[in-house]
A and B are shown apart, each in its own frame.
Chain A
């Protein structure tokens, strides 16, 4: 029986391809797109206001609630600001780091440097965020100890703490794609630039940056999307500060359809973002 199946598949190439692809494609459609669709579907349902049970009747009330309440517009803007700040800071730190790792450090040391960039990822997310929490304690934290002799004051919990925490968490995701891109950079173009009289700064700006731009964009997809959706770091480091993820977290237990409507905001923002950077070729560098 197995033999005959083999013969059949040998002769029918298209059937074979379809069978091979059906599993991963099925996964993609059912698990990923299916979940997004379920999210959308939930957002147009009602709830029983007393028991919080979902009632499967059509309503647009969740969307009018999201779009007419100024609070949710503000929280969207704040979330965007955090995601953009985290992405920019990550890029500013990661570009020179990756350049050093890929072009200046001895080739034999490069694997060690890559491993060092990866080490934070070996520790649990929560451990790292709680470590930052102890550093940010307004009176007894490490930052206060560090800054107070200079006459400063620890920022305490809030937006700044969230930005610093998220930058720390997502930095490796920015460094690695840029490193990969810079490693592929042919030495000949750098040499040519130098031969034609460009100083190192100009070579970096006009040769290295344009070529590695897609990899920076690729890294930004990670840092931006991970920051958009985060709520745990915000809970731990944010004080009274909140982001979109926290709105979803606060509402999903009592008003699932409303939480679903809110969670479509980052989905839409990410779609716009991905469409915008598609042209740079970043998606080929993920």
Chain B
């Protein structure tokens, strides 16, 4: 009796090991990308996304491009949203997510950390329609290997409550200068990457500092940016990273001006126009986001199908329109509900993007190509930001 039980147990353990070994072998993609062909295996993918990127109808029943995907492929999708790139990096490193919409300041950290796998673009037929100036860029391609498909891009806009901030601002000075008319009702983004926003303003107002790239700051330039943040601090009502809290604060009137995303302005203007949003004359920081696949995913087929689905012209159009950004798929422009969407977001204008500085991770080797100085790496940005916020 006992012997039989033991034998059964041994068989079970052996079977379990086989299953585990089977899973292990599919992870073994460090050397190259998945070769395909894609299988019709049902599976579950956990999607890590910016809010508004993977809508399944829970926020707005009319906004849903997850359910059609689930019905068409048999893959189940769980969506988790995040508020800052730093949060995304941490969640991704913790494991358990299969695909992620990563901005440029998260993607490289994840690629070098071994959390992402190269992508075989032959398995993603919609990739051919992506705008050429988004393909093979430093934040989505490393050593000639592509790590994902571009989703969209946008600028961090200056948002102001109509009627509360007059005249309507066209310059970031309204959030930085001590004599701002909105003093005490200003908000700023609660992440170290916001230091780059200070640098963008300094590029325009203090050209003698010689900043050419807000993510490549030597110590002097960095100190100037931190001094500007110190100057701004007494003007700030709240720092934000939770966009629902931000929306509530604007509705209550405790915040009237500050850096924002177009999607936040769109939600606030849902019933009637209450806020304006502009890219100020100094330019702005911004994002260019890429869908990427975890190196540890166990649902590789579903992950590839998701990447292809999310950049399908009509899905890309819906997502870009809902979030308020420029779509990455050139054919999406013809399919937006508002036919003017791509003009509004300058999707096809190369000039517009010349003073939008996409988020990227600052490194010690200056990203602007200077070799005579060392730049302040992102880890120091984070330390400085933490110290600044708690001073």
Given contacts A52-B109, A236-B245, contact A251 B252 (CB under 8 A): no
Q: How many A-B residue pairs have CB under 8 A?
A: 95
Residues of B within 8 A of A51 (CB): 109-110, 112-113
With A140-B252, A252-B90, A253-B87 as given contacts, are A50 and B379 in contact (CB-CB < 8 Å)? yes
Cβ of B142 to closest chain A Cβ, rounded Å:
13
CB-defined contacts of B233 to chain A, threshold 8 Å: 240
Q: Is the CB–CB distance between A255 and B379 below 8 Å?
A: yes
Give min CB distance, A167 to chain B, whole Å.
21
How many Å lie between the Cα of A154 and that of B25 in the bound state? 62
Residue of A with least CB distance to B387: A71
B93 contacts chain A at the CB level, 8 A cutoff:
yes
Do residues B254 and A156 form an inter-chain contact, with CB atoms below 8 A? yes
Task: Number of B interface residues at 8 Å Cβ cutoff, please give it.
Answer: 36
Residues of B within 8 A of A (CB): 86-87, 89-90, 93, 109-110, 112-113, 192, 233, 236-239, 242, 245, 248-249, 252-254, 361, 363, 377-379, 382-383, 385-391
Instruction: Give the chain B neighbours of A213 by CB distance below 8 A.
Output: none
A255:B252 contact, CB within 8 angstroms:
no
Which of A9-17, A131-139, A173-181, A198-206 is the interface stretch? A131-139
**How far apart are B344's CB and chain A's nearest CB, in angstroms?**
31
Kindly identify which residue among B93, B363, B388 contacts A52, using a CB–CB cutoff of 8 Å.
B93
Interface hub of A52, A157, A239 (most chain B Cβ within 10 A): A52
How far apart are B90's CB and chain A's nearest CB, in angstroms?
A: 3
Q: Which of B112, B254, B383 contacts A50 (CB 8 A)?
A: B112
Give the interface size class of chain A.
35 or more
Cα distance, A240 to B388, chains bound together (Å) = 11
Distance of B178 from chain A, by nearest CB (Å): 16
Q: Is the pair B391, A74 in contact by a Cβ cutoff of 8 Å?
A: yes
Measured between alpha carbons, how far is A33 from B192 in the docked complex, in Å?
33
A contact residues around B391 at 8 Å (CB): 70-71, 74
- B109 to chain A minimum Cβ distance, whole angstroms, is 5
Residues of chain B with a CB closer than 8 A to A240's CB: 233, 236-239, 389
- Chain B residues positioned under 8 Å from A137 (CB to CB): 249, 252-254
Least CB distance from A236 to B in Å reads 7
Q: How far is the CB of B391 from chain A (nearest CB, A)?
A: 5
Q: Which 8 A-B pairs have the closest CB atoms?
A: A253-B90, A51-B113, A49-B379, A137-B252, A75-B390, A71-B387, A71-B390, A139-B253
With A137-B252, A138-B253, A240-B238 given, can you name 5 additional A-B contacts, CB distance below 8 Å? A52-B109, A71-B387, A133-B248, A138-B237, A157-B254
CB distance from B251 to the nearest CB of A (A): 9
A72 and B390 contacting across the interface, CB-CB below 8 Å: yes
In the complex, which residues of chain B have a beta carbon less than 8 angstroms from the beta carbon of A71? 386-388, 390-391
**Distance of A133 Cα from B242 Cα, bound (Å):** 14
- Which chain A residues in 38-90 approach chain B with CB under 8 Å? 47-53, 65, 69-72, 74-75
CA distance A53 to B115 in the complex (A): 11
**Nearest A residue to B237 by beta-carbon distance?**
A239
Which residue of chain B is the closest to A1 with respect to CB atoms?
B2
Which of the residues A74, A133, A157, A255 comes within 8 Å of B382, measured between beta carbons? A255
Pairs across A and B, CB under 8 Å, 15 listed: A50-B109, A50-B363, A50-B377, A51-B112, A52-B379, A65-B383, A71-B388, A133-B248, A141-B252, A247-B390, A252-B90, A254-B379, A254-B382, A255-B382, A255-B383
Min distance, Cβ A117 to any Cβ of chain B, angstroms = 30
A9–B361 Cα distance when bound, in Å, is 63
Does A250 belong to the interface (CB within 8 Å)?
yes
How distant is B124 from chain A, measured CB to nearest CB, in Å? 26
Q: Which residue of A lies closest to B383 (CB)?
A: A65
Chain A residues with CB below 8 A from B388, complex form:
71
Kindly identify, within residues 231 to 283 of chain A, every residue whose CB is under 8 Å from any CB belonging to chain B.
Answer: 235-236, 239-240, 242, 246-247, 250-255, 258
